[in-house]
Structure 1
Amino acid sequence: MVKAQISLFIIIALAISAIVGGVVYTVQSQKVSITEAEILQVSRAPVEARPVEDFVRACMDEALLRGVISVGDRGGYSPSDSFSVNPSDPTDSEAIPLAEGVIDGSIPYWRFMSSKNKDCPSSSCVLSSKMPYLLKSDGSPSVEGAVEKVSKQFLLDCIADFSQLKNSGFTVVPKSSPSFSATINDRGVVGVLKYPIIVTRDDKSYNIETFYSNVEVPIKDLYELSSAITKEAGDSNFLEYSVINYLDMFTGLDDDSLPPISDLDLSLSPKSWNVLDVKEKVSSSIIPQAILFLQVFPSKNYKALESPFPLSEEREAVFSMLYNRDFRTSLINKTSKPIIVNVNFEPVTDFSLTPYFKMNCEGVCSAESLNILGVLPLGIQKYNFAYDISYPVIVRLEDPDALNGLGYSFQFGLEGNIRSNEPVKGSSSIVQNSDFSSTISLFSQKEHWTSGDVKIVISDLVNHDNNAAVVFECGTKAASLGIVNNSITTKLPRCTDGHLRAVKQDYSSSNPRISTFTSDPQIVGIDISPIVPVFFTVKKVPLTKNSDNNWNLLSDRRESLDNGESVLVVLDKIGGGDSITAVSQLFGGSAKTSSTKNSSISAGDYSVSMFLTRKSPKGEEVIIMPQERCYGPGDLGDVITGDEECAMVPAKPEVFNETKPLLLGQSEFNMTITSGMISAKGVNINLLVPYADLKSACDSGICVIEDLSVPSTAGDYVSLYPDVFNPVVVPKR
C-alpha cells in the first residue's frame, strides 16, 4: 500500500512543503543535536539529481507530519508503545483504553493511582505518572524519541529501494545504511536523514549524503502546557474538587437528590437510597458534567458559561460559585509562555468504561437514627456518606492555527481519585445532559465598551496581594478585563445592573454592583480574601434542672466535650460574593477532631449551626424511667365517657447508649469574619453551645420524658444572652 502511494509524493511535494516548511537552510540557535554549522552547509543536489532529492524530502515531510500527529494523539508516545491496560476498567490501567483490544487506541495517564482501587485508602494509595520526557537527552521515554520512531518507520517504508525512480531513468545505489534522527526545538521538529547514495542517470553520477526537513508545529509548547496542567492537578487537585463540589450540589434529602455527605434531619422517617442507582447517576451525569465544565484560565477557548434555563436567586448564587471558582483552573504565572491554544477536558463516556465507585454502605444507604423520642413526634436522622470514586479524563490541547490552518492537537490522560469525599493527594435533583452553552458576543469586544471611565481597585486586606483577573458580568454575558494589579481604569459595556468580580486561585471575591449606563466616572472596589483553613474549638454551657423542675442556664460555666459526645458545626456564607460552606465534626474524650467536608472559609458574613449529640458509653447511659401520665377528655383521654385515662410514659425505660444517641443541644446564629481575623495559616473560631445536662438530671432521678424537648430549644439562650455566646475569632499563628 505504501509503495503504491510513493509516486504521489513527488507530485504533492510542493503542497506538503507549504505545510511543513520544506528544506531547512537556517535555524535559530537551539540546544539541539543538529548544529547550526551543519545545517548551513547543506546545498542542493545538482539539477539532474534533484528529482531523487525531492522524492526523499517528500517522504521525510510526510514522515515527520505523521510522527508529530500520531505522537500528539498518544500523549507523547508512539502507537506501538504498550501499557498495562484493563479494557473493562479504565482506572485499573496505565492508560485509558479507548478501543478494547487495540493497544495503540489507548491514551496514557500522566497522573494516576497505580495501586489497586480496593487497596486505597485501607492500605496504600500510590500515585504514578506515565508522562514522558520531552527530549531524548532528558531521558527515556521521550516525545522526541517517539516522533523519531514513528517517522523513521514510515520514512524507510516510503523510500524503500528507490524502485519508483527507475521509470524516470534513475539508478540509486546506497553506500551505507540510512540513519534518521528527529529533534524537537522551539519552532517544531527537524528531521535529518544521513543516507549516502550514488545517483546515476544518462551515464552521469552524483553523490548525495544528507537530507533535511522540518515541521513547524507547537509540540514543545503543548508539551510544556500539558506538564503545567498535570502539575496543577497534583498541587490543587482541581480534577477531584470539581467532582466533589458538583456532587455536593446535588446531594440532599429531596426525592431526586443523592445521599448527602453530611446532613441532619428532624423527622421520624429516615430516607434511603439504592447504591446501584446512585452509582449510575454519579457515573452518567455528575462526573461527565463536572469534567465538561472545567476550564483553564487563561486559554484561547475560555468563555463564560450560561444556564439555558432561569435560576432562582439561591441557585444563581450556586451557579456563580461553580462558574467563579470551582470549575476554573488558573495557570496565571505558572507557564513560561502565554496560553494561546484551546484546552478541553473530556470525560470518558463509553458505557463499558465505568468509573470505580464505592460508598460506606452496602446495597442500601440509610440514616443513622440519632433519637426516637418515645411518644413525642420528634426524631433526628443523621446522614454521613463517604464516596470513593476514580475516573478517567482526557485533556486535549488544540492549536487550530498550526500547520497552516490544518490544526494540531496534543492529548493525554489524567485520573481523578476521591476517597471518603476528599482527593487522594502526593463536590437538588440530578441534571441529566444539561445543555450549558458558552457565548462570545459584541459584549466582550472592547471597541463596544462605551461607558464612562471606571476605576476598579482590588483590595486584599490579608496578604496585600492586590492582583487578580477581573470579570464584568451583565446577566448571562461576561467580559474579561484580564489581570489587574492593584487598580485599572477602563470603560465597560453598557449595563443597568452589572457585577464585577475577581478571579484568583484559592480566593473568594466580593461581587459589587455597578450601572454602566452613564458617562460619569466611577470608582468601584473589589475585596478579595484568601480561602484559608478554619479550626474550631467548642465548649459547652450547661442547662441544669433543679428540684422545682425548672431548667436554668449556668452562664459562667464552660465544659469540654465528654467521652461519647460530638458536635457538628456548619458555617454557610451569606450575602454577596462566592458561596462557601465549612462543615466540621468535633469529638469529646480521646477521639480526634475530624472534618466531614473541606473546612475552609474567607472573610465575610456567615450563618452558624451547631448540633451537640451524645453516644453514652457503657455504664454512663442516660435512662428515663416510666412515669404515670393521666389525660382528661379532649386530650388523650376518653372523649365519649369523659373519663380520665392514665398510662406509663414511656412504656418501658428509655435508654440512650452507644447505639442510640441523644440530642443534647443546638444553636443557630450569624457572625462576621473580618480580614483582621484571618492569617495565611487560617483562622481559629472558639464557640459555645448551650446544652441540657440530661445525664445529671436522670442520675438525680428528676428527669422526665418531657425533658427531651429541652435540647431543641436550648438555642434560644444564644439570642437571649448574646454576650455569653459571642464567638471568639483569632488568626491562626
Structure 2
Amino acid sequence: MEVKKVNNKQAQVTIFIIIGIVIIVAALGIFIFRDKIFISAGASEFQEVYDYFDSCVERVTLDGVQLAGSQGGYIEIPDFEPGSEYAPFSNQLDFIGQPVPYWYYISGNGFVKEQIPSKKEIEKQLGEYIEKNIETCDFSDLRAKGYEISADNPSTSVSISKNVIGVNVDMPLSVSRNEKKEIKSRHNIDVFSKLGKFYDLANEVYGEEKKNSFLEKYSVDVMYNYAPVTDVEISCSPKFWNAQDVADDLKSGLSANIGNIKLSGDYYSLNSKENEYFVLPVSTDESVNFIYDSRWPSRIEIWPAQNNILIAEPVGLEEGLGVLGFCYIPYHFVYDIYYPVLIQIYDEKELFQFPVAVVIDKSNPRQALETQNDLPEEIGICNYPTTSIDVYTFDSNLKPVESSIEFQCFNDLCNIGSTTISGGDAHIQKDFPSCINGKIVSKAEGYVTQEYLISTNTPGVANILMDKLYDLNLEVVAGGLDVNDRNGQALIYFQGERYSTSAFYPEQTSIKLAEGFYNISVQVFSESSLTIPASTTSNCVQVAKPGIFGFFGQTHEECFTVNTPSQTLGSALSAGGKSTEFILENDLKNSQNVKISVPNLPPVTSLDQLQANYQLLDYQNIALEFT
C-alpha cells in the first residue's frame, strides 16, 4: 500500500508540471502574437487602416528596391572620387543622368579599387530608406471616414531573401473611431521582389569577371579584329592610319561585341553556332545585358603614334637589302584601352545594374583578381611630400602662363597642382616628395610640354620657360606642284630636341610648331604601276655536321630556296628631302601658313631605282616658306 501512495504522489507532481508548462507556453504565445490576437477582435472596425499602412510600406519598399537596383545596390551612394586623364572613370558611371557606383574601377591616381555593397549593407540602407519615407503614407482619406490615426517614430529592420523581402516595422499605430481604440505596434510585411536573386546573380557574374577577366579577353579579340596590331604586309609604300579613326573603330567594335555577351540561359536565341563564343558559363533564367556606350568616359592610347598618325615603314628599300628582291611592311602597335561596361539583370518589373572598368594595358588584359573588397593601395613616393618648392611658369616674353604641374621621380608621377596668376606671376608653392634628379612636368594648352630637372631633397625654385605652339596651315609642293594636285601623299617629320611632330598631307592640312632646331624629313608618294616580278633565290649556309663530327666543329653546306611572289606597287616614292632648320618664333608668330617645297626624284621604273630614291633623300634639300 505504501508503494501505491508514493506512485499517486508522483503522478500528481507530473500533472502539475504539465499544467505549468502549458500555462507558460500559452503566455508566451499570447505575448508573441498579441497584435494578431487582440487586433482580430476589432478587425472589421480597423482592418482597412492596417491594410493601407501595409500597402504603403510595400510601396515605399519597392521604391527603395528600384533605387538600390539602379545604383549597384546602393541607396546612399559612396562619396564621389574624380577620375583623371590616365583613368577617366571616377568611381561612378553616369548612366542617363544617374550615378551608378562602379563595383571595380581604377582610381584617378592609378589604384585598383572595389566598392561592392554587402547584402547586410543593402538591408541596412533599405531599412533606413523605409524609415525616412514612411511619413509619405497619407491617411487623409481614412481620416475623412472618421478615423483618428496617430503614429510614433518607426524602427525598421529588413531581411532580403531570394524572392521576398521581409520588412519589420516597429511603430505604435494608434487608431480610434466610435469610442473604440486600438494600438498596433508591430507590422510584418512580406514584399515580393527579386532583389536578392538579382544581387546574387550579379555577384556570380562579377566573380566570373574577377576570376577569368572575360571582358578583357573579348576586348583583346576586338582589338585584333578592328585595329592594326601586329602584322606583315607585302608592299613598298608605307601604310598610314589615323589614330582617332582607329580609336573610333575600336569603340564601335567594342559596343557591338560587348552587347552580344550572354549568360547560359533561355532568354535569347543564337542565330548561329559561332555565337556560342559570346555565351558565358554562368547559368540563369533571368535576362542579362552587357552594355558599352562609346560616349562614356574611355581612354584609348596607341604607341607608336606621331601627331595622331600611325605609320608603318617598308623594309627592303635600304642600301644593302636589294638582295631581298621585294619590300614588306612590318608593324607592331601597342594599345591601352580603358572603358566601362554596364551589366544589367532585369525582368519586366525590376532591374539590378552595376558597372565595371575594363582594362587592357599595353595590349594585355589585366591580371585576374584574387582579393576581396577593399584592395590595398600601393604606397608610393607621392604620399610623402616633404620639401617646399616654388614653381614659376612663363613664356618667351616673360609673361605668366598658367600650367598644370606634375612631378616625376623614377616610375612615380605625382599630381602637384597648377600655377595660377597672382601679382604678375604664374606661381605655385607646394611640398614635393624628396627625390634626386626628379622632373617637374609642366603642361599648358597651346604650349610645348616642358620637363625641368630638379633635386627636391632641399627647398628650391623652378623657373620654367613654356614654348608657345603656333598652328599653321600646311602646304606641300613637290617639283613646283602641290602634292594634292598630283594625287600624291606626303609624310612630313619635324624632329626637335624638346618637341617633335609629324603630318600626313593632304589628310592633315595644318601643323603645330614651336621655336627650335628641327631635323625635317619629307617623303612624297605618287601613283605607280611598277610590277616586281616573281623571283627565286638560293642561299647556302654552313651548318654543323650530324653526329660526333658536328660535336667537334665540322660543318657542311646546306642550301635553301626562297620563292618571292610578284608585287604590283600602287604608289612609290617620287619626291622628298631632308634638312636641318632653326625656326624662329617671329616667323611663326607673324605667319599663318607654312609652305614646304621638295624636289622630285627620278621616276620609279624598277626596284633598284626605288631603292636609289630612298638613298637620294639624304642629298635633297627642303625649303620652308612662312607667310
Instruction: Report if the CA contact (8 A) 2:195-2:352 is conserved.
Output: yes
Q: Which of these residues, 136, 139, 144, is aligned with residue 157 of structure 1?
A: 136
Partner of 2:328, secondary structure, is: strand
Would you say 1:305 and 2:309 are equivalent positions?
no
Taking a change above 3 Å as real, the CA distance of residues 550 and 366 of structure 1, as seen in their structure-2 partners, is: closer
Taking a change above 3 Å as real, the CA distance of residues 59 and 378 of structure 1, as seen in their structure-2 partners, is: same
Instruction: Deviation per CA, 1:631-686: give whole Å up to 9, x if none.
Output: xxxx99xxxxxxxxx99x989999xxxxxxxxxxxxxxxxxxxxxxxxxxxxxxxx
Partner of 2:259, secondary structure, is: helix
Partner of 1:348, secondary structure, is: coil
Q: Counterpart amino acid of 1:192? A: N
Q: Which of these residues, 260, 285, 290, is aligned with residue 340 of structure 1?
A: 285
Q: Which of these residues, 234, 237, 250, is aligned with residue 269 of structure 1?
A: 237
**How much has 1:266 moved relative to structure 2?**
3.3
Q: Which of these residues, 360, 366, 373, is aligned with residue 311 of structure 2?
A: 366
**How much has 1:41 moved relative to structure 2?**
6.7
Q: Counterpart amino acid of 2:179? A: D
Comparing 361-370 with 70-79, greater Cα deviation is found at 361-370
Instruction: Report if the CA contact (8 A) 1:292-1:345 is conserved.
Output: yes
Q: Which of these residues, 331, 343, 349, is aligned with residue 395 of structure 1?
A: 343
Instruction: Deviation per CA, 1:360-393: give whole Å up to 9, x if none.
Output: 1231111255442445652332211111111111
Q: Which of these residues, 326, 332, 335, is aligned with residue 378 of structure 1?
A: 326
Taking a change above 3 Å as real, the CA distance of residues 62 and 106 of structure 1, as seen in their structure-2 partners, is: same
Instruction: Deviation per CA, 1:199-253: give whole Å up to 9, x if none.
Output: 2211222121111212122221211111111111111111111121123123xxx
Would you say 1:220 and 2:196 are equivalent positions?
yes
Partner of 2:359, secondary structure, is: strand
Q: Counterpart amino acid of 1:356? A: R
Q: Counterpart amino acid of 1:294? A: I
Q: Counterpart amino acid of 1:269? A: S
Q: Counterpart amino acid of 2:237? A: S
Taking a change above 3 Å as real, the CA distance of residues 115 and 39 of structure 1, as seen in their structure-2 partners, is: farther
Instruction: Report if the CA contact (8 A) 1:91-1:415 is conserved.
Output: no
**How much has 1:185 moved relative to structure 2?**
2.2
Q: Which of these residues, 167, 179, 183, is aligned with residue 203 of structure 1?
A: 179
Q: Which of these residues, 351, 363, 372, is aligned with residue 409 of structure 1?
A: 351
Q: Which of these residues, 419, 425, 446, is aligned with residue 361 of structure 2?
A: 419
Aligned to 1:127: 112
Instruction: Report if the CA contact (8 A) 1:90-1:392 is conserved.
Output: no
Higher strand share: 2
Alignment of 1:580-595 (within 5 A): none
Taking a change above 3 Å as real, the CA distance of residues 67 and 170 of structure 1, as seen in their structure-2 partners, is: same
Would you say 1:330 and 2:327 are equivalent positions?
no
Would you say 1:357 and 2:303 are equivalent positions?
no
Instruction: Report if the CA contact (8 A) 1:78-1:149 is conserved.
Output: no
Percent of aligned pairs sharing the same letter: 21
Would you say 1:108 and 2:101 are equivalent positions?
yes
Q: Using the alignment, how far apart are the partners of 1:65 and 1:200 within structure 2?
A: 29
Taking a change above 3 Å as real, the CA distance of residues 554 and 225 of structure 1, as seen in their structure-2 partners, is: same
Aligned to 2:378: none
Would you say 1:166 and 2:108 are equivalent positions?
no
Instruction: Report if the CA contact (8 A) 1:372-1:380 is conserved.
Output: no
Taking a change above 3 Å as real, the CA distance of residues 390 and 87 of structure 1, as seen in their structure-2 partners, is: closer
Q: Using the alignment, how far apart are the partners of 2:72 and 2:127 within structure 1?
A: 15
Q: Counterpart amino acid of 2:298? A: P
Would you say 1:75 and 2:89 are equivalent positions?
no
Q: Counterpart amino acid of 1:158? A: C
Instruction: Report if the CA contact (8 A) 2:345-2:352 is conserved.
Output: yes
Instruction: Report if the CA contact (8 A) 2:92-2:100 is conserved.
Output: yes
Aligned to 1:640: none
Aligned to 2:91: 94
Partner of 2:271, secondary structure, is: strand
Partner of 2:116, secondary structure, is: coil
Partner of 2:72, secondary structure, is: coil
Q: Counterpart amino acid of 1:173? A: S
Q: Using the alignment, how far apart are the partners of 1:40 and 1:84 within structure 2?
A: 50
**How much has 1:288 moved relative to structure 2?**
0.2
**How much has 1:555 moved relative to structure 2?**
5.4
Higher Cα Rg, which structure: 2
**How much has 1:95 moved relative to structure 2?**
1.5
Q: Using the alignment, how far apart are the partners of 1:170 and 1:90 within structure 2?
A: 59
Taking a change above 3 Å as real, the CA distance of residues 422 and 207 of structure 1, as seen in their structure-2 partners, is: same
Taking a change above 3 Å as real, the CA distance of residues 38 and 217 of structure 1, as seen in their structure-2 partners, is: farther
Comparing 263-272 with 41-50, greater Cα deviation is found at 41-50
Taking a change above 3 Å as real, the CA distance of residues 38 and 369 of structure 1, as seen in their structure-2 partners, is: farther
Alignment of 1:678-689 (within 5 A): none
**How much has 1:292 moved relative to structure 2?**
0.9
Q: Counterpart amino acid of 2:361? A: R
Instruction: Report if the CA contact (8 A) 2:100-2:355 is conserved.
Output: yes
Aligned to 1:554: 543
Q: Using the alignment, how far apart are the partners of 1:90 and 1:276 within structure 2?
A: 18
Q: Which of these residues, 284, 294, 300, is aligned with residue 261 of structure 2?
A: 294
Taking a change above 3 Å as real, the CA distance of residues 271 and 131 of structure 1, as seen in their structure-2 partners, is: same
Partner of 1:345, secondary structure, is: strand
Q: Which runs of 5+ in 2 are unaligned?
A: 1-28, 370-537, 552-604, 617-627
Would you say 1:182 and 2:152 are equivalent positions?
no
Q: Counterpart amino acid of 1:346? A: I
Q: Using the alignment, how far apart are the partners of 1:109 and 1:194 within structure 2?
A: 34
Taking a change above 3 Å as real, the CA distance of residues 127 and 89 of structure 1, as seen in their structure-2 partners, is: closer
Q: Using the alignment, how far apart are the partners of 2:87 and 2:142 within structure 1?
A: 48
Alignment of 1:613-628 (within 5 A): none
Alignment of 1:446-457 (within 5 A): none
Partner of 2:102, secondary structure, is: strand
**How much has 1:358 moved relative to structure 2?**
0.4
Aligned to 1:509: none
Instruction: Deviation per CA, 1:90-137: give whole Å up to 9, x if none.
Output: 94211211245xxxx111211222254xx5xxxxxx3221211012xx
Instruction: Report if the CA contact (8 A) 1:96-1:413 is conserved.
Output: yes
Q: Counterpart amino acid of 2:326? A: L
Q: Using the alignment, how far apart are the partners of 1:168 and 1:87 within structure 2?
A: 60
* Structure-1-length-normalised TM-score: 0.44
Q: Counterpart amino acid of 2:265? A: S
Q: How many residue pairs get matched? A: 352
Would you say 1:236 and 2:236 are equivalent positions?
no
Partner of 1:379, secondary structure, is: coil
**How much has 1:163 moved relative to structure 2?**
4.6
Instruction: Report if the CA contact (8 A) 1:397-1:409 is conserved.
Output: yes
Instruction: Deviation per CA, 1:20-65: give whole Å up to 9, x if none.
Output: xxxxxxxxxxxxxxx9x96797454522122321221121111112
